[in-house]
Structure 1
Amino acid sequence: MEIRKEGGLRGAGAPDEARLAKINAYARTPLTAETVYCFRVRLCDDRPDRDFERFDTAALPRMAELFCGKTGICDHQWSADRQVARIFDTQVVREDDGASCLMAEAYVLRTERNADLIADIEGGIKKEVSVGCAMGQARCSICGEPYGTCAHRKGAVYDGETCLAVLSEPLDAYEFSFVAVPAQRAAGVTKAGKEGYGMTLQDCVAKHGSPELSDALRRLSAEAELGRAWRKQLEDGLVALGLSLDLGASEQTLRKAAAALDDGQLQAWKAALDRRAAERYGGGPQLVRTQGSGKDDEAYLI
């Protein structure tokens, strides 16, 4: 796969009237074009990165919404003193090679404090960026299961395909940061929070854990798989009962409702439907065997 090596920053300078209006939506005191320096930044894309992870293409529009208004800092140091910029607009762009990327426009104030930063941006020194965000799901690109619950591992090749963790379901966006070496080759991305907390529990145990912790994690993963199977069986049973009792909802609606419940609520609803089905259809055989009859099947003969 061809990888673009350029950094995350694009054209910079004074904002036009439309951009200035968006900037002033975040300012308490109206700013003028002369007091603001704007630049475009490539936040992230859906290509594989150096950690053998990639963002799901479908997640980028939601990430674009979450990153609007977020701050720009340096080296992912979460400190008010390190805040240097703010994103005022975002856009998902489809590129010529078919990849999608998340572009943002950010601004800094033309102050004495920011003079060196603006000079570094103009001079191509401050060029690479990285983002901090939280993703709700990481799935294996080989089998589609939640990453860490299957036998596949990031970076390994299976039948000619490199395993990746595909990140989806954006939960929150924290910041973007100027960094020296980003995780993504084109823009640079760290996926969650700060200081590398984007790794999964499985990766954490593999990197920092002991053989005992690895064994315990495997047992927990196996138990979790049994729990998911039990949950699916319960949801399937509830949907089947709902359809047979003609509750007035489609299968899709019933499945969506069942998926939104926690385990206790799901069991309670299933039990209520079981009782209603028993009342409607009755239970047990229509003919009851007479005690003490001669033949085993005599009571059932008509």
Structure 2
Amino acid sequence: MKDNKLIKSGVSGVVDGENQTVGDDELELINRFTRRNLAKNEVYAFSVVLCDNDVDRDGERFTTDSLYELEKLFVGKTGIIDHNPSAKNQTARIFSCKVEKIDGQKTTLGDDYYRLKARAYLPVCESNRDIILAIDSGIIKEVSVGCAVGRVVCNVCGEDISMCTHKKGEVYGSKLCCGELVNPYDAYEWSFVAVPSQKRAGITKGHKIFGKENDMEKILKAIENKKAFALDESDSRKLCEYIDGLKKSAKDGVLYRESLTRDVVGLAAFVQPDISGETMESVAKSMTIEQLREFKSAFEKKKKAAFEPVPQLYCKQDKRNNAVENGQFSI
């Protein structure tokens, strides 16, 4: 995992049995990405299924709407090997992309099956001879794609999959739970891979569960629900700032508790002298903040009553015989 990108590989990426030559219209599309106009015999083209709307082995799928968004994002993106982002590792480039509905085929959830199919090209030259042969012979066949989506939504309840209590792969009623990848906002590469993990097409998916005002509520709930999530650089910075704030608040809380404990133990020495300081301190350490504040308030009232000053010229009426105490001070 790097940043907020998850790598997953796909099966049956390169489409067999399709014409690898290009027509005039396709050549015009290809030459939009070249420094000079290439001739038809200088170009090798092939079709590749990038992703679809079926549930993959990670329990996630693109919605049909997301496929149509990716249709626009993947045009012009580079094909590489094993997701190694090196200029030397570039092999092909997508020049057109289209969502296709496959008649008579359904997804695991029973929906009509849609896939995102692209046309890619690479120049015909000596250095590309081996890869062209590998594609034609079916040796290079599996692909995965790199993209990022805004949210992963639970198809059962509609909440973020990291927030809800449903688990991917489990059935609720008659509905298989999965994470639906929505709001794609970037497509950065596609790659030939050796080990596939998705059923029909491989995908590298990134998603953000943050970006709104209640970011920290979301991450805390995700942790509480033991959900996995990914962070990009911005989200990591927000989380660090939030943790620093918690550390400061915790330090302030410790200092306040220590001060409150000292006050309670000190007051107890006046109003409960029969209880040793060590015992009172031990008891105070087990109290909550609210309990300490309650004890402090009660001890302060008791201390005030016990040590309230009495005027020297003080007279007290005896209710039984109207006798006056402290008569020696009477005038």
Q: Do both proteins adopt the same fold according to a TM-score greater than 0.5, normalized to the shorter chain? A: yes
Alignment of 1:244-255 (within 5 A): none
Partner of 1:81: helix, strand, or coil?
helix
Cα distance in structure 2, aligned partners of 1:108 and 1:28: 14
TM-score, structure 1 as length reference: 0.62
Distance change (3 Å), C-alpha of 1:33 and 1:218: same
RMSD: 2.5
Letter matched to residue 33 of structure 2: Y
Note the alpha carbon deviations across 1:223-263, whole angstroms, 9 max, x for none: xxxxxxxxxxxxxxxxxxxxxxxxxxxxxxxxxxxxxxxxx
2:189 to 157, 170, 175: 175
Cα distance in structure 1, aligned partners of 2:132 and 2:226: 51
Letter matched to residue 120 of structure 1: A
Partner of 2:223: helix, strand, or coil?
helix
- For these two proteins, the number of residue pairs brought into alignment is 201
Partner of 1:114: helix, strand, or coil?
helix
Cα distance in structure 1, aligned partners of 2:162 and 2:170: 13
Note the alpha carbon deviations across 1:195-228, whole angstroms, 9 max, x for none: xxx6979xxxxxxxxxxx988822999xxxxxxx
Q: 1:182 touches 1:190 (CA, 8 Å); kept in 2?
A: no
Alignment of 1:260-271 (within 5 A): none
Do residues 93 (structure 1) and 107 (structure 2) align?
Answer: no
Cα distance in structure 1, aligned partners of 2:23 and 2:205: 32
Alignment of 1:5-84 (within 5 A): 7-10=12-15, 11-84=18-91
Residue 8 of structure 1 deviates from its aligned partner by 1.5
Alignment of 1:1-302 (within 5 A): 7-10=12-15, 11-96=18-103, 97=105, 98-192=112-206, 217-218=223-224
Partner of 1:189: helix, strand, or coil?
strand
Cα distance in structure 2, aligned partners of 1:185 and 1:116: 27
Identical columns (%): 44
Cα distance in structure 1, aligned partners of 2:125 and 2:51: 28
Cα distance in structure 1, aligned partners of 2:178 and 2:52: 14
Residue 88 of structure 1 deviates from its aligned partner by 0.1
TM-score, structure 2 as length reference: 0.57
Q: 1:45 touches 1:100 (CA, 8 Å); kept in 2?
A: yes
| Unmatched segments (≥5 aa) in structure 2 | 1-9, 106-111, 211-218, 228-331
Q: 2:80 touches 2:92 (CA, 8 Å); kept in 1?
A: yes
Q: 1:52 touches 1:165 (CA, 8 Å); kept in 2?
A: yes
Distance change (3 Å), C-alpha of 1:30 and 1:7: same
Q: 1:183 touches 1:190 (CA, 8 Å); kept in 2?
A: no
Say which structure, 1 or 2, has more relative contact order (CA 8 Å, 6+ apart): 2
Q: 1:137 touches 1:146 (CA, 8 Å); kept in 2?
A: yes
Distance change (3 Å), C-alpha of 1:148 and 1:6: closer
Cα distance in structure 1, aligned partners of 2:27 and 2:156: 45
Distance change (3 Å), C-alpha of 1:180 and 1:214: farther
Larger-gyration structure (1/2): 2
Note the alpha carbon deviations across 1:243-299, whole angstroms, 9 max, x for none: xxxxxxxxxxxxxxxxxxxxxxxxxxxxxxxxxxxxxxxxxxxxxxxxxxxxxxxxx
Partner of 2:183: helix, strand, or coil?
strand
Distance change (3 Å), C-alpha of 1:79 and 1:38: same
Cα distance in structure 2, aligned partners of 1:216 and 1:26: 43
